[in-house]
Structure 1
Amino acid sequence: MEELIEAFSIDRIGKSGARFDWDKAQWFNQQYIKESSGTDLAKAVMKFAPDNYKDVDTDFLAAACDLMKERMTFLTDIWGKGYFFFESPKEYDRKVVRTKWKPERVPLFHQLKDQLAALDEFSTSNIEATVKAFMAEHGLGFGDVFQVFRVMLAGTKSGPPIFERQHCWAKLK
């Protein structure tokens, strides 16, 4: 409020009629969310938590908010766009499954899952090194693994960076 008062000037008031710009309002809201800490966002989003998410651990929620804040426009987006942090995906992106999923690679993905589950330290750098080494060993490219990996974890090909999800996805272990 103090910043607004300080920045206000009667000389800067436009003479034409004011018009509310919904897109600009959303952009401002998104900027505010991006600049907020995961902890602050976790406190704020809990006010809008659906009943089945009322008992989410606050540290876990703060980590999820940190990862999702680049993709959030409203505080409630964590529960909709980021629901996969709190429960298994409800559905899977059929287009990615149709174009990227190869049945003959099922044993490879089970092997990768086992390697990730066996990590002593489930950290960003360990996850990344394990996945990249696995890809090199089996002659797989990023497109062969990353989109399938995203869909397995989140049901969609979009979302936060894969390797930075360790705090929220340690439940895979």
Structure 2
Amino acid sequence: MKNYKIAVIVGSLRKESFNLKTAKVLMDIAPKSLSFDLIDIADIPMYNQDLEANPPKEWVKLRDKVRAVDALLFLTPEYNRSVPGVLKNALDVGSRPPGKSCWDGKPGAVVSVSTGSISGFGANHHLRQSLTFLNVPAMAQPEAYIGGVAELFNEEGQLTNDSTKDFLTSFMEAFEKWVHTNAH
């Protein structure tokens, strides 16, 4: 199987983010045909069309990094039944200027991670709605909602729940097939 470069975009900025911990697990257990670029979105200035004439370097960097990959893996917490503003801003910045979206046509997958029992269901589906508009074909199955995440990691940040690790392994195997089928 061909090797694919994957952008990993985490919608949580917290230093001890469970989304970031989960992203690191996914990158570690992924099939060897996938390599990863964890893209930091913390310092991307808010989108403002007035800045397009001379876009901030952080916008250019995000757009260039996303253009350089074959596929996208998003991890998001849920804020008020939606995605965090920083993640929505990254989507907006990458989708501009019109007709030059860096997201266009790249296959993706969504994992929502939450300490609650609803597992970020609202954020997961809200993000999928945005990805549909951005022409990012999002993997439909298996869906990944990781709830009660605070109980799944030890104090060193290692995943200690075997059934979750098994699920995430099968998720990444399915993602590899999804990328292989849909990457251009």
Structure in which a larger fraction of residues adopt helix:
1
Structure whose residues are more often strand by fraction: 2
Q: TM-score, normalised to structure 1's length?
A: 0.22
The structure with the largest alpha-carbon Rg is 1
Q: TM-score, normalised by structure 2?
A: 0.21
